[in-house]
């Protein structure tokens, strides 16, 4: 039996992986999944061998890699969604605001999502540091800790950061590019009422992390089956749409450098994967 971990950030996760299990088992793969309430426990169970695979957030991948370096076994990103590659985070301001560069935000307040959100906290705050604007010193940070432990998968904190910007409570908000568009469609942000002050370099998001101790033949068959899924197949398309992709692609570990740096700057994990953020309780 190939066993995968997934974090239940939303009730739809049960539906998604139940339907994937039906599809996989119908093709002869003995597959099941375990749900977790937070990524930290999931990563620890992956490293301890209690699950073979973990559908990991980017931050969970960073911790898994670091823990594996200390405890073993080796881990690698087996698969990703096509929608997990080359994403960016934005620093957004109201269109009528006077700011023309991130340097203009000095002395102001910037809103972010939950403290463990790569896309709306860790990476954009690291970007500000790289531009000479130090969070907590040059700018105040207003954090919306919704769904802590879910690594930003619950976008409630990000949505509240956007709402604070729309209400004029903060000078800027940090959002992933797709959510900037989503929040405008939801009227959380006034359509056309915001503009992008800065955009980070591209980075990668979730990946299917596999431990080196997992049964190789089952892992290979799992990857083969998922990579074979076609968006043109009427049976498969609803499954892919549920999980927010058009195709599974080979995993890669080259899109996480910005997050690795952000984790170190924030003191979130140490080099061995231990949680070192003082105010983080998943």
What are 179-223's pLDDT values in tens digits?
999 999 999 999 899 999 999 999 999 999 999 999 999 999 999
In a domain, 230, yes or no: yes
Q: Is residue 277 part of a domain?
A: no
Tokens standing for residue 145:
């800790």
* Residue 268 CB neighbour total at 10 angstroms: 21
pLDDT (0 to 100) of residue 11: 94
Domain-located, residue 192 = yes
Per DSSP bridges, beta strands 2-7 and 31-36 are parallel
Query: 142 pLDDT exceeds 90?
Result: yes
Q: Which pLDDT value is given to residue 103?
A: 98
Same structural domain, 151 and 244:
no
Mean pLDDT of 91-116: 98
Q: Are 149 and 214 in a shared domain? A: no
On the question of pLDDT at 70 being above 90, the answer is no
* 72-103 per-position pLDDT tens digit: 779 999 999 999 999 999 999 999 999 999 99
Domain match, 107 and 46 both = no
- The pLDDT tens digits of the residues spanning 221-241 come to 999 999 999 999 999 999 999
11 and 100, same domain (yes or no): no
Read off the pLDDT of each residue in 151-179 and give the average, rounded to a whole number. 98
Cα-based distances in Å from 80 to 2, 164, 227, 250: 18, 33, 10, 6
Q: Which domain holds residue 191?
A: 89-199
Collapsing DSSP to helix, strand or coil, 5 comes out as strand
Do 99 and 157 fall into the same domain?
A: yes
Q: Are residues 7 and 54 in the same domain?
A: yes
User: H or E segment at 31?
Assistant: strand 31-36
Cβ–Cβ under 8 Å, residues 110 and 142: yes
Helix axes 39-47, 58-71, angle to 10 degrees: 30
Whether 184 and 100 share a structural domain: yes
Q: How many domains is the chain partitioned into structurally?
A: 2
Q: What pLDDT score does 71 carry?
A: 74
Answer yes or no: is 273 within a domain: no
What CATH number did the domain enclosing 234 receive?
3.40.190.10
How does the average pLDDT of the chain come out, rounded? 97
Let me know whether 178 and 262 are in one domain.
Answer: no
C-beta separation of 170 from 110 below 8 A: yes
Does residue 279 lie within any of the structural domains?
no
Does residue 276 lie in a domain region?
no
Residues 148, 154, 158, 163, CA torsion sign: negative
Are residue 99 and residue 190 in the same domain, yes or no? yes
Residues 80, 218: one domain? yes
């Amino acid at each position: 039996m190939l066993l995968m971990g997934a974090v239940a950030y939303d009730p739809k996760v049960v539906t998604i992986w139940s339907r994937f299990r039906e599809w996989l088992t119908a093709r002869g793969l003995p597959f099941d999944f375990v749900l977790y309430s937070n990524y930290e426990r999931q990563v620890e169970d992956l490293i301890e061998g209690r699950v073979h695979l973990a559908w990991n957030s980017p931050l969970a991948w960073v911790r898994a890699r670091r823990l594996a370096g200390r405890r073993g076994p080796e881990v690698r990103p087996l698969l990703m969604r096509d929608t997990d590659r080359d994403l960016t985070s934005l620093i957004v301001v109201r269109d009528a605001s006077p700011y023309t560069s991130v340097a203009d935000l000095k002395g102001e307040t910037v809103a972010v999502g939950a403290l463990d959100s790569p896309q709306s906290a860790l990476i954009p705050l690291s970007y500000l540091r790289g531009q000479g604007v130090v969070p907590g010193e040059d700018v105040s940070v207003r954090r919306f800790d919704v769904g802590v432990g879910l690594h930003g998968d619950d976008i409630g904190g990000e949505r509240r950061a956007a709402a604070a910007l729309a209400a004029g409570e903060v000078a800027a908000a940090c959002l992933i590019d797709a959510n900037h568009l989503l929040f405008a469609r939801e009227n959380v942000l006034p359509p056309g009422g915001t503009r992008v002050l800065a955009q980070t370099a591209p980075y990668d998001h979730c990946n299917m992390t596999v431990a080196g101790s997992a049964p190789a033949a089952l892992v290979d068959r799992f990857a083969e089956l998922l990579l074979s899924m076609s968006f043109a197949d009427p049976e498969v398309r609803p499954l892919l749409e549920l999980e927010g992709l058009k195709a599974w692609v080979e995993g890669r570990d080259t899109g996480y450098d910005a997050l690795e740096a952000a984790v170190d700057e924030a003191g979130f994990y140490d080099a061995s994967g231990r949680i070192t953020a003082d105010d983080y309780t998943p």
